[in-house]
């Protein structure tokens, strides 16, 4: 695609307010002779004619000074990270549209002291900023200031690779520097139906052992991003094919009994990240979940769901042939999110029906009588309250009472 077309596409993809905002930044940068670019994923998606949701602006120079000048002239506030040369402009009311902030980044170089290390960052040229990136398709910059508007910087032939549908690293040490890039490569390959270049694939075996050196947070983040993709199932299978799951934990690669196919369902209950993790791992034992958690450090909320789901399989048979009130006693100990996932993955049958009834009706059933009513009737507060209220709830659940009158009658009997 012609690069001027890219810049025009960018303008057209922006709403009126966002466009006015970008114009203000461009004017300021032009006045200061500061080259200003959009870089990376936004350029890639423009060239693919995909929607560009958000982007940063990269200045070849000091982005913090630029952000401060803008906020002084037009209002709003700035927070800055001097170590990284980045600034966030909290926009004044009239420049906010669907975003409250704009990120302004200084071009920088990154170097790695040893495999899988965090990079050493220094300010740099736009050429250096492109060189630090993961793939050629993510290493293009579109210049926006002054007369340079629409110039494309494509040092690594990213546009060619986009056209050919190839994911290619920029140099042979790329995966050693940052092994998360192997997971990113699979994500872009799967998302755009591209192919990872042969020479890039050939670099995986040497870098794979260094996955172990990545922090829990870094590796989990990549898996989170993969699970967020509509195409997650084929990406996970591709990761497995490249032995990139078993090197995190062997149980992650055990697909035989897994419920991965449900990741393709459009059931809204299965669209959250936590549900998708639970579907992936629900066939594993609680010991496996604990071991994987030692490596990935799940959030407390996700861990609770995963533990719940892992235990459920053992308890499945105990749910057969129960009265609703008996089933509720068992199901109450599980998180609702876990039950939604389990229900979606279960085949049609008695247990799935029980779960669905619990989720749609039973869970919400409460007696009309409250602790306050019991107090008014002169019963001294204590464990007895809970016992009576549970008994009334069970009566509603099992159809023993159907009206408020009948509940009152049962309560009178219980109190007698």
220 scored as a contact of ligand ATP (CB under 6 A): no
The least CB distance from residue 138 to ligand ATP, in Å, is 3
The least CB distance from residue 187 to ligand ATP, in Å, is 7
The least CB distance from residue 172 to ligand ATP, in Å, is 15
Q: Please, which residue, 137 or 328, has the CB nearer to ligand ATP? A: 137
Choose, by CB under 6 A, the member of 28, 134, 145, 407 that binds ligand ATP: 134
Which token pair is 136? Answer: 């050629």
Report d(CA 123, CA 109) in Å as an integer.
6
Q: Please, which residue, 98 or 348, has the CB nearer to ligand ATP? A: 98
Choose, by CB under 6 A, the member of 18, 143, 181, 238 that binds ligand ATP: 181
129 scored as a contact of ligand ATP (CB under 6 A): no
Q: What are phi and psi of 12, to 5 degrees?
A: -70, -30
Tell me the DSSP string of 78-113.
EEEETTTTEEEEE--GGG-SS-SEEEEEE-EEEE-S
CB 231 within 8 A of CB 263: no
Residues near 50 by beta carbon (within 8 Å), at least 6 away in sequence: none
**Is residue 120 within a helix (H) or strand (E), and if so which, with residue range?**
strand 120-123
DSSP label of 135? B
40 scored as a contact of ligand ATP (CB under 6 A): yes
The least CB distance from residue 274 to ligand ATP, in Å, is 20
180 scored as a contact of ligand ATP (CB under 6 A): yes
108 scored as a contact of ligand ATP (CB under 6 A): no
The least CB distance from residue 99 to ligand ATP, in Å, is 15
Determine the size of the site formed for ligand ATP (CB under 6 A): 9
200 scored as a contact of ligand ATP (CB under 6 A): no
178 scored as a contact of ligand ATP (CB under 6 A): yes
Residues near 345 by beta carbon (within 8 Å), at least 6 away in sequence: 259, 262, 279, 282
Q: Please, which residue, 130 or 338, has the CB nearer to ligand ATP? A: 130
The least CB distance from residue 174 to ligand ATP, in Å, is 8
At 342, is the secondary structure helix, strand, or coil? helix
Nearest to 94 by CA among 41, 44, 20, 167: 20
The least CB distance from residue 101 to ligand ATP, in Å, is 15
Q: Please, which residue, 235 or 309, has the CB nearer to ligand ATP? A: 235
276 scored as a contact of ligand ATP (CB under 6 A): no
The least CB distance from residue 278 to ligand ATP, in Å, is 23
At 296, is the secondary structure helix, strand, or coil? helix
76 scored as a contact of ligand ATP (CB under 6 A): no
Choose, by CB under 6 A, the member of 133, 153, 307, 337 that binds ligand ATP: 133
DSSP label of 147? G
Residues near 176 by beta carbon (within 8 Å), at least 6 away in sequence: 112, 115, 116, 203, 206, 207, 210
Minimal CB distance to ligand ATP: which residue?
A: 41
CB 99 within 8 A of CB 18: yes
Q: What is the b/e burial string over 26-59, where b = at least 16 CB atoms within 10 angstroms of the residue's CB?
A: bebbbebebbbbbbbbbbbbbbeeeebeebbbbb
138 scored as a contact of ligand ATP (CB under 6 A): yes
Q: Please, which residue, 28 or 178, has the CB nearer to ligand ATP? A: 178
> Considering only 29-37, 132-140, 343-351, 382-390, which stretch makes contact with ligand ATP by CB under 6 A?
132-140
Q: Could you tell me which residues are beta bridge partners of residue 86?
A: 81, 105
- DSSP E strands in 163-295: the ranges are 166-167, 195-196
In the complex, which residues of this chain contact ligand ATP (CB under 6 A)?
A: 40-41, 133-134, 138-139, 178, 180-181
């Amino acid at each position: 695609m012609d690069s001027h077309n890219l810049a025009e596409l960018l303008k057209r993809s922006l709403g009126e307010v966002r466009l006015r905002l970008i114009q203000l930044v461009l004017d300021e940068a032009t006045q200061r002779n500061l080259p200003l670019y959009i870089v990376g994923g936004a350029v890639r998606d423009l060239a693919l004619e995909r929607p560009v949701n958000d982007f940063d602006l990269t200045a070849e120079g000091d982005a913090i000074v630029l952000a401060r000048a803008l906020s002084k002239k037009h209002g709003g506030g700035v927070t800055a990270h001097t170590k990284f040369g980045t600034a966030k402009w909290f926009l004044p009311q009239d420049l906010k549209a669907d975003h409250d902030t704009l990120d302004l980044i200084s071009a920088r170089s990154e170097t790695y002291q040893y495999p899988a290390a965090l990079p050493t960052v220094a300010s740099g040229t736009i050429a250096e900023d492109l060189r630090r990136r993961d793939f050629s398709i993510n290493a293009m910059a579109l210049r926006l200031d002054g007369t340079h508007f629409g110039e494309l910087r494509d040092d690594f032939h990213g546009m060619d690779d986009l056209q050919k549908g190839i994911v290619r690293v920029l140099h042979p040490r790329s995966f050693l520097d940052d092994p998360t890039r192997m997971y990113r490569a699979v994500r872009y390959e799967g998302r755009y139906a591209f192919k990872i270049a042969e020479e890039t694939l050939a670099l995986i075996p040497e870098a794979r052992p260094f996955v172990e050196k990545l922090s829990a947070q870094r590796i989990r983040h990549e898996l989170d991003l993969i699970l967020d993709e509509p195409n997650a199932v084929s990406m996970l299978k591709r990761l497995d094919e490249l032995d990139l799951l078993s090197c995190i934990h062997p149980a992650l690669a055990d697909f035989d009994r897994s419920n991965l196919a449900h990741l393709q369902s459009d059931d809204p209950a299965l669209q959250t990240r936590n549900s998708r993790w639970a579907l992936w791992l629900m066939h594993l034992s609680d010991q496996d979940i604990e071991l994987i958690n030692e490596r990935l450090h799940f959030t407390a909320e996700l861990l609770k769901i995963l533990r719940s789901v892992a235990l459920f399989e053992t308890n499945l048979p105990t749910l057969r042939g129960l009265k609703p009130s008996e089933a509720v006693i068992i199901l109450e100990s599980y998180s609702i999110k876990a039950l939604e996932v389990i229900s979606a993955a279960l085949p049609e049958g008695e247990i799935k029906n029980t779960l669905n009834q619990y989720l749609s009706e039973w869970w919400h059933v409460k007696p009309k009588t409250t602790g306050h009513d019991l107090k008014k009737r002169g019963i001294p507060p204590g464990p007895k309250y809970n016992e009576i209220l549970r008994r009334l709830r069970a009566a509603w659940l099992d159809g023993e009472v159907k009206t408020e009158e009948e509940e009152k009658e049962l309560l009178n009997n219980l109190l007698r």
